[in-house]
Amino acid sequence: MPYLDLTIYTAKETRVDGEQFTREVLEDSLSILAPDLPIYKKTQLRALWIVLLNVARKPRAVFLYSRSKQEKHPEFTANPRGLSNNSIRSVIDTLAKANYIEHTKGESRYDKEKDTWSYESKMSSFKATPILLGLISNLGLAVEDHPDEIHSMFPNGLVELFEPNIYKWDVIRHRKKRTYTGKQIPYKPNDFTKAVNKEMEDYCRFLNEADIVFKGERYKDIQLTRKFRRHSWSNPFIFGGRTGGYWNEIPKEDYQELTINREAIVEIDYPYSQTNMVYHMVTGKFLEPDDGYDAYQIDGYETKYRSVIKVIINLMYGNSERGVTKAVTDRINENAKKGKKEDLETKQLHLELREELTTNPKGSANWQPLYQAIQKKHEPIKHMFFLPPAIAQIGAWYETHMVFAVAINATRLGCVTITKHDAFLVGQSNEELIKDYRYTTGLIPEIQELVPRIRNWKEAQEFLYNLMR
């Protein structure tokens, strides 16, 4: 299902005279063509114009939109007309009441009675009826009459680009708090965006043809959009790239309610996911688990400390040594607040390990020997530790592309695979196929060429410098 596009416009509109043009078209025509539509305010006219253009471009589509009173649409490029949710809701309710659209209200993620957030939320949606299609035709907006008339500021399909998120310091919780999601920005398509968009179009088509069912309801109209963050001017598509399907919010305990082509599913991921991706970036080879190898078991440290060492290793990508020492404590304490047994156990083990490493009179732990032992175990990638945060973000970017490469190529072979963050959900009969395939599928050239093999510390520094300049 496409989202309601707030950036849509006609070739006749401009930033200067767009509102005047809209009023001339609608105010002069609506009283004659649609006298049953009581729309008078100029903000409502702008919202109606948006709805008409979206339907004109995709007359058979079901459009998703938000009715949240808390959600605001700031005046940036993704909302050039400065529309509020109030005006959008008002227009859609009016159209529904007059039978111009078939409307379905969404379900809030918040359950007031249980005071909890649900993963089974649904956005509101609408679909045009023949009455609205007739109005669009009478207004001269039908796409078949003017195929090049209606445009979007973001014509690049399933690949979107955003400015970085903005954070501020939360003085109450003493941590950074995301206060604003970076605005969507237009970009000129290149070989990379065209290739990724083609992949995702094929993938979504395969998924829509499959029988993916959760709690008796078949997922349909699947549209997965890859979202990138511009942290770099030289190459804005080297960060981010994740997308989420409806199934991303399903907890593991409800997996038995999810089927693919009438088959129960299993979850498969990459062991030591982040470290595995860094190994592949540097050496071209994965760490395939065999012969009892464990990336988180470090010589000289008891097996029981594995969960703590796992947190430490993952934080060594994109943090200084001092930063890791602090970040580990913060991460473990934050996880422990959730109250899960394994997180509480990790917190206790972290305290025990810190006590073991405390050998000086000041009572502070010396983590250096552990960091050195980790680097010794992972000698081929030791130059990737303790680099600026960008290296961790690139690792996540690389992982995202690898996961989608496996899922897309497997689906092309007839094995329907859906992704959940860094994991694969697949029918039980295809479990072994995906386990093998995740190590044999390569990235498309347009992606692989963006990240050369980073074989040593000097190359890592040069890569980061060239990336961020």
The verdict on 34 and 139 lying in the same domain is: yes
The verdict on 213 and 330 lying in the same domain is: no
Determine the Cα–Cα distance for residues 374 and 314; give it in Å rounded to an integer: 11
* pLDDT at 136 (0 to 100): 87
DSSP per-residue codes, 254-281: GGGGEEETTEEEEEEE-TTHHHHHHHHH
Pairing of strands 212-214, 258-260: antiparallel
- pTM as predicted: 0.74
pLDDT tens across 258-309, in order?
999 999 999 999 999 999 999 998 998 898 776 678 999 999 999 999 999 9
pLDDT tens across 41-89, in order?
778 888 888 899 999 988 888 888 888 765 544 444 567 777 888 889 9
The verdict on 139 and 220 lying in the same domain is: no
The verdict on 70 and 149 lying in the same domain is: yes
Domain enclosing residue 453, as ranges? 162-274+390-460
Does any domain span residue 376?
Answer: no
Closest CA to 165 of 184, 187, 186, 180: 180
The verdict on 333 and 212 lying in the same domain is: no
The verdict on 134 and 167 lying in the same domain is: no
Q: Amino acid letter at 322?
A: R
CA dist 409 to 33, 74, 173, 404, 415, Å? 50, 39, 44, 8, 9
Q: What are phi and psi of 159, to 5 degrees?
A: -125, 120
pLDDT tens across 162-214, in order?
888 766 655 555 556 655 567 788 888 888 998 999 899 889 889 989 999 99
Q: CA 3, 8, 9 angle in degrees (round to 5)?
A: 165
The verdict on 40 and 135 lying in the same domain is: yes
Cβ-contact 451, 281 below 8 angstroms = yes
The verdict on 112 and 68 lying in the same domain is: yes
Give burial (CB, 10 Å; 0-12/13-18/19+) of 285.
Answer: exposed
Closest CA to 322 of 282, 287, 364: 364
Buried b (16+ CB within 10 A) or exposed e, 358-368: eeeeeeeeebe
Last residue in a domain, options 118, 153, 188: 153
Cβ-contact 313, 395 below 8 angstroms = no
Q: Which one is predicted more confidently, 41 or 110?
A: 41
The verdict on 325 and 366 lying in the same domain is: yes
Torsion (CA) 323, 328, 333, 336 in degrees, nearest 10? 150
Domain count across the chain: 3
Joined together, the tokens standing for residue 246 give: 């409806």
DSSP per-residue codes, 124-177: EEEEE-HHHHHHHHHTT--TTT-TTSEE-S--STTEEEEPPPEEEEETTTTEEE
The verdict on 77 and 202 lying in the same domain is: no
The verdict on 101 and 26 lying in the same domain is: yes
Does any domain span residue 469?
Answer: no
* pLDDT at 268 (0 to 100): 95
Does any domain span residue 72?
Answer: yes
* pLDDT at 180 (0 to 100): 59
Cβ-contact 11, 143 below 8 angstroms = no
Last residue in a domain, options 92, 124, 153: 153
Cβ-contact 238, 446 below 8 angstroms = no
Closest CA to 278 of 320, 239, 307, 316: 316
Last residue in a domain, options 340, 370, 400: 370
Cβ-contact 352, 359 below 8 angstroms = no
Average pLDDT over residues 243-271: 90
